[in-house]
Structure 1
Amino acid sequence: MQKLVSIIVPVYNVEKYIDKCVRSLLKQDYGNIEVILVDDGSPDKSGYIIDRLKEEDNRIVVIHQENHGVSSARNAGMAVASGEYITFVDGDDWVDANYVTYFVDLLEKSSCDVVMNKNNYSGCNDISNNNFSVISAEKAIEWIYLGDLFVAVWNKMYRRSVLEENYIKFNERIWYGEGMLFNVEFLQHVNSVAVGESAVYHQTFNPDSAMRKFNLKSNLCGIKSLELQKEAWIKKNIDIEKAWEYHRYCFNRSIIDGLVRSNMILEYKETYKECVSNLRKNIFLPLKMEKSIKKKIMWCCYFISPRLMAIRKAIGFKKAAKTGGGYKK
């Protein structure tokens, strides 16, 4: 028999997208699934929509709770999950019909406890192939910090027993960077990771998503998440430390970009100046860490004129919002 797979979907303000998301899960060519939909006190019609969907298919489990954030919602889903494997899908995204089959096959072939896709998902990188490899947990941590493996929990699949035996949950005090923290904690308890490169996940450009809207407190929360990750390290080496430092450095650019895009420079003038100073005084870090000549040039441009580069990126962001497509860095 097929092993049961639990698909956990946090639901909040996604009334425009949740029907397409859930129906893509119900159309999986892998039959033995449970779809756990967690309404995190959504103020729109999302709760009503998922209740209606539940009436159509008995594989759906619906949970309604007061609003406590995405980490709480995912924990609520994990608490009732009974599958041998767990995967997460965001409520404004959708997946191909072979999404579950693809990840289960990689887990079975590799005998690993987790499979993570590279940055192969529509909205970022549409390139897709059937290549897969097995790497060490240490290398996976390094790749997450460098951006070679996406930081989020979606586009991945985990063995539930590892989560339960090591009491791994989402930190409910962290709402930004919670996925990276979860992944890094999980990787402390496994030796190897299966890595795929098939674009079976489709990210929707949702301008109302918390990930799309700039919030300085969220970025500071992301930095706090990084600090907690460092405290959780059991497995570490010089490459992980350098990659972590680079990821921490990149927050300076993220904050600069966000302040410019949101016209908030005057409101947070000192923060903006500090980030520009941090970016400029350690510019050799990205030039050393980045392999792409194009990205090295981009960092040099940020060094010369961070505000102009941030304006350029804001224009690209607005274009993506109009077309509904993903914004490529």
Structure 2
Amino acid sequence: MEGCKIILSVICPVYNEIKYIDVCIQSILLQDYPQENIEILFVDGMSTDGTRDSINGYARINPFIRLVDNPRRIVPVAMNIGIKVSKGDIIIRLDAHALYPTNYFSTLVRQLMALGIDNVGAACKTDVLNKNQKTLAIKEVLSNRFGVGNSTFRLGVEKVMEVDTVPFGCWRKEVFDKYGYYDERLIRNQDIELNKRIVRGGGAYLSYS
């Protein structure tokens, strides 16, 4: 795929993610996007549970993985640090609590380039690793309209379409020069606020199922 020649910077904010980080990284290592064209930036809020050691272990044998410090810990700061030190033409945001299909990076890049939009993302499928009554109840709430209303990114779509917001995100790096960076005053929902700015500025963002 032509898009796979593009340099890709993948940013994953982390803080005390030892329960999830190995599984997350394993799914990243299985991506079909060429590793020579990727940098993976784990921007860490100074974890104390072994997360940093785990990431550094992977980085020693996978030179495209880097650990970056985030002394302020919060996600919008982590994203802004990652964006500013990134070397890629395209930025993808990840969450450490998720697994990613092998074509996740390549599909996002292909959609972004083909559609000429400012942000593209994928619908989420909610699942749990440690199944118990509480976690299964949370899964159910996050998987139906009763729990999430019209949150298209959680319910899924049948075709590529404009939506109200997307999880994580995939952007050309220049988008942040155009619309601004993450609002560091927002501990939560900073992605929604960024997407609203993109829409107000005339950009668009779509989701695929």
Distance 1:6 1:113 in 2: 16
**Using the alignment, how far apart are the partners of 2:41 and 2:202 within structure 1?**
26
Amino acid at match of 1:185: R
Alignment of 1:31-180 (within 5 A): 31=34, 32-118=37-123, 120-123=124-127, 124-125=142-143, 131-133=159-161, 135=162, 140=163, 143-144=164-165, 150=166, 152=167, 154=168, 156-166=169-179, 168-180=180-192
Runs (4 or more) in structure 1 with deviation over 4 Å come to: 124-130
Bigger CA radius of gyration: 1
Instruction: Please give the TM-score of this superposition, normalised by the length of structure 1.
Output: 0.50
Kindly report the root-mean-square deviation, in angstroms, between the aligned alpha carbons of the 2 structures. Answer: 2.2
Alpha-carbon shift at residue 130 of structure 1 (Å): 6.8
Specify the alignment match of 1:218 in structure 2. Answer: none
Aligned counterpart, 1:290: none
1:197-276 pair list within 5 angstroms: 197=209
Query: In structure 1, what is the equivalent of residue 148 of structure 2?
Result: none
Report 1 or 2 for greater relative contact order, CA contacts < 8 Å, sequence distance ≥ 6.
Answer: 2
Q: Equivalent residue for 2:208?
A: 196
In 2, Cα distance between the equivalents of 1:103 and 1:65?
A: 26
How far apart in 2 are the matches of 1:128 and 1:182? 21
Cα distance in 2 for residues equivalent to 1:4 and 1:187: 26
Q: 1:17 aligns with which of 20, 28, 43?
A: 20
Q: Is the 8 A contact 1:7 1:88 kept in 2?
A: yes
Structure 1 or 2: more helix by fraction:
1
TM-score by length of 2: 0.76
* One-letter amino acid matched to 2:62: D
User: For structure 2, which runs of at least 5 residues remain unmatched after alignment?
Assistant: 128-141, 144-153
Partner Cα distance (2:57, 2:28) in 1: 15
Q: Could you tell me how far 1:112 is from its partner in structure 2?
A: 1.6
Identity %: 24
Letter in 2 for 1:161: E
Q: Structure 2 CA distance, aligned partners of 1:194 and 1:179?
A: 14
| Deviation string, structure 1 residues 143-171 (Cα, Å, up to 9, x no partner) | 34xxxxx5x4x1x21111111233x2122
Aligned to 2:137: none
Contact 1:107 1:194 in 2 (8 A): no
Q: Secondary structure at the match of 2:81?
A: helix
Q: Is the 8 A contact 1:42 1:67 kept in 2?
A: no
Cα distance in 2 for residues equivalent to 1:182 and 1:129: 22
Q: Does the 8 Å contact 1:47/1:64 carry over to 2?
A: no
Q: CA deviation at 1:129?
A: 7.4
- Classify 1:76/1:182 alpha carbon distance in 2 versus 1 (closer, same or farther; 3 Å): same
Question: How many equivalent pairs are there?
Answer: 180
Pairwise CA distance, 1:48: 1.1
Matches of 2:96 and 2:189, distance apart in 1? 18
Equivalent residue letter for 1:106: Q
Question: C-alpha distance in 2, partners of 1:127/1:170?
Answer: 25
Distance 1:36 1:91 in 2: 12
Counterpart code for 1:79: K
Alignment of 1:26 onto 2:29: yes
Where does the alignment leave 5 or more consecutive residues of structure 1 unmatched? Answer: 145-149, 198-329
Question: Alignment partner of 1:95: what SS?
Answer: coil
